[in-house]
Amino acid sequence: MFEIFGIPSAALFGQLLIGLINGSFYALLSLGLAVIFGMLNVINFAHCAQYMMGAFAAFLLLNLTGLGYWTALIVAPILVGIFGIIIERSLLQWLYKLDHLYGLLLTFGLVLIIEGIARNYYGSAGLPYTVPESLQGGRNLGFMFLPNYRAWVIAASLGVCLATWFVIERTKLGSYLRAATENPTLVRAFGINVPLMITLTYGFGVALAAFAGVMAAPIYNVSPQMGSSLIIVVFAVVVIGGMGSILGAIVTGFGLGIIEGLTKVFFPEASNTVIFVIMAIVLLVRPAGLFGRRA
Amino acid sequence: MKRLLSLTALAVVLAAGSAQAQQLNVKIGVMSDMSSLYADIGGPGSVAAAKLAVADFTKANPNVKVDLISGDHQNKPDVGTQLANQWFDVDKVDMIIDIPNSGVALAVSQVASQKNKLFIVSGAAASDLTGPKCNANTIHWSYDTWMLANGTGAAMVKTGGDSWFFLTADYAFGHALERDTAAAVEANGGKVLGKVRHPLNTSDFSSFLLQAQSSKAKVIGLANAGGDTINSIKQAAEFGIVKGGQKLAGLLVFASDVNALGLQTAQGLTLTETWYWDANDNNRAWTKRWQAERNAAGKFPTMIHAGVYSGITHYLKARVALGGDPDGKAVTAKMKATPTEDALFGKGMIDETGRKRHDAYLFEVKKPSESKYPGDFYNLKATIPAKDAFRQPKDSGCSLVKS
């Protein structure tokens, strides 16, 4: 057994893997943000509330209708996605022509309202939700104990990230979307319903947040403020990756998860600031982010 | 002539006033975390408890009029300090109660001392409040880190958990809890193998848990609170820490946290509290009233809520005994001189450091199969008598203790 900076290599591999798992959450959340920003030019601050709604929906589905984790994984994102579509149609669509700041303020206000409602009815301590029967337990990898649920988190998150990237960057639908962002008037002239596409994109981005919320419910505390503690980090991930860059969000999400994981070993007190230090450095060197294109 | 008339009138009014029982006006401020992670252990529940205390007391003493106001310190010491200054100076508040955040509580304690008012801590835990940072205007009511450490820490060492690893929240409260527990562990013959300090409000603990796991310590002490504790316990179960033979010691776990974890995950957890809603008929009856006042049928009051009720009751007793408008130090002295007694904590006293002393209870969280109704969380393992439950004044390092 060899050592790296006084840390046994086994422990280090374990921490790398854990970083990768956390990174998959960052990637999943920042992916939704990047899709929404890239296509709608809206900074969706409500992402954290929509993530929380996903977890709450999973809890409510289980306790009110008896639907378990696997059903919730499909149903909760659809329900929250529909909620997102209603928000987009009723509020957000009026703000596209205004400065980014208006969208940010509106969605921030939404966060306060949604979290306030959840806190009023369910309190701030949290709600119980357990790991589904089929994913309980884990396996010993030699250097660490890997819970089955965490393995599933990596697999599911990678799958969803790659599928989203593929649809937007490699399919015809994706090319319409990208074209509609560049020049909506011209795309409309070709007979494509641009407002509908934008609405559905927002709904999809919101559904991604809810999906991450359901994934988080068995391992993180399901409480109204569960998203707010994560959203700032996720925004930093999106900024480092380059606002609106899908590949950037995915790669930085996983990368920063690993860096944060290593910080937790070498200097735990700094683990919640390391990402912002990196963000500051990246913004100094490449203001558009690692994968961003200069405007 | 006119002047003489008005003087006579004044004299008549004064005479009439003293003939009746003297009217006493008191203003109390409940400062708590109303909207964030500690809002369930304190927050609106503390306001409900304060209302109950005032209602009960003014029913028996109709000449006392109590004004109750409440505010949110947002877990920020600067916000708490500013609010305390405003309450004492502008709103003429006589006493501030609660504050479930040690950082804010330590700051407000200074303000109360400077303005010579009174601060009753029910929510915060740091034992420094009656230790090196004590003052003659602060009383610490429900619990503190020394009592938690001594209760849970000593009990775990005695049952074989003699090597410890700490997961500590990186602020005043976590440091105090870790320090006091480490002292209790070592005093009982155990040893501390290591610790890791995590930022407040961390969502993923797997990295820290892995470090705790590889330390091979028999006990992993969770020197954190609220959402942090819930996340640590939930993920410890996931990583098979308890199944692997290591024990978890939740050093500060409230009934609301157990509810959030679910018994399936929380079962077997050892914890110390000074008040449990289901311990006796008095507590159960009070819980019903609290739920009605709080308008939350499925919620259960914590020891912080009970402490707010008990603290206000004792404070009002002292105010009635003193009469008039005494300063903070005089009320504190009177409260210390009078033994405490109320429906929730029974008989007790306040020692010279400002530490309220009552029994503490060592509980174990029930298995799901043992729990018969909602809120049926604990089995009582041991009762720690008031004289041992809290730190002895001579060991406190508090300047108020005369040697």
Mean pLDDT of A228-257: 89
B269, B311: one domain: no
Residue type, B41: I
| pLDDT over 90 (residue A2) | no
Do A265 and B211 lie within an 8 Å CB cutoff?
Answer: yes
What is the ipTM, given to two decimal places?
A: 0.83
pLDDT of residue A97: 83
Q: In whole angstroms, give the CA distance from residue A186 to residue B164.
A: 67
Residues B338 and B383 in one domain: no
Contact B262 A130 (CB under 8 A): yes
A18/B207 touch (CB, cutoff 8 Å), yes or no = yes
Q: Is B231 on the interface with A (CB under 8 A)?
A: yes
pLDDT of residue B224: 93
CB atoms within 10 A of CB B189: 9
Spatial CB neighbours of B128, under 8 Å, sequence gap ≥ 6: B102, B106, B172, B176
pLDDT attached to residue B17:
46
To the nearest whole Å, the CA of A124 is away from the closest chain B CA by: 6
- Based on the fold, state whether residues B64 and B133 are members of the same structural domain: yes
Q: Is residue B399 part of a domain?
A: no
CB under 8 Å to B159, separation ≥6 — which residues? none
Q: How many structural domains is chain B composed of? A: 2
Helix axes of B102-114 and B172-187: crossing angle, nearest 10 degrees: 100
CA distance linking residue B318 with residue B331, whole number of Å: 6
Residues of chain B with pLDDT under 70: 1-21, 403
Q: Where are the domains of chain A?
A: 18-128+143-226
At residue A177 the predicted structure's pLDDT band, cuts being 50, 70 and 90, is confident
Residues B159 and B230 in one domain: yes
Kind and range of the H or E run holding B383:
strand B378-384
pTM, whole model, 2 decimals? 0.83
Identify the residue among B202, B210, B269 best suited for mutation to test binding to A, counting A beta carbons within 10 A and taking the highest. Answer: B210
The answer to whether residues B51 and B110 belong to one domain is yes
Residues B373, B260 share a domain: yes
Measured between CB atoms, which of A8, A216, A268 is closest to B197? A268
Residue A237 has pLDDT above 70, yes or no: yes
Q: Which two tokens stand for residue B347?
A: 């008989």
pLDDT, tens digit, for every residue of A108-159? 999 999 999 998 888 888 888 989 989 988 888 877 888 999 999 999 999 9
Contact of B261 with chain A, judged by CB distance below 8 Å, is answered with yes
Span B124-176, pLDDT tens digits: 999 999 999 999 999 999 999 999 999 999 989 998 999 999 999 998 899 99
Q: How many CB pairs under 8 A join A and B?
A: 123
- Hey, which bits of B44-171 come out as E strands? 64-72, 95-98, 118-121, 138-140, 163-169
Task: Show the tokens assigned to B342.
Answer: 């109320």
Instruction: Give the domain-ending residue among B340, B358, B376.
Output: B358
- Any CB–CB contact under 8 A between B298 and chain A? no
Q: Which residues form the domain of B315?
A: 23-143+279-358
B185 shares its domain with B125: no
**Cα–Cα distances in angstroms (integers) from residue A210 to residues A81, A232, A233, A254, in the given order:** 8, 17, 17, 19
Q: Indicate whether B301 and B183 sit together in one domain.
A: no
Give me the DSSP letters along B251-319.
Answer: SS--HHHHHHH-HHHHTT-EEEES--TTSSHHHHHHHHHHHHHHT-TT----HHHHHHHHHHHHHHHHH
Residue B252 amino acid letter:
L
Query: Is B175 in the same domain as B267?
Result: yes
Q: Degrees (nearest 5) of the Cα angle A161, A163, A166?
A: 110
- Shared domain for B124 and B72, answered yes or no, is yes
pLDDT digits (tens, 9 = 90+) for A283-294: 999 988 888 765
Q: Is B122 exposed, middle or buried (0-12, 13-18, 19+ CB in 10 A)?
A: buried
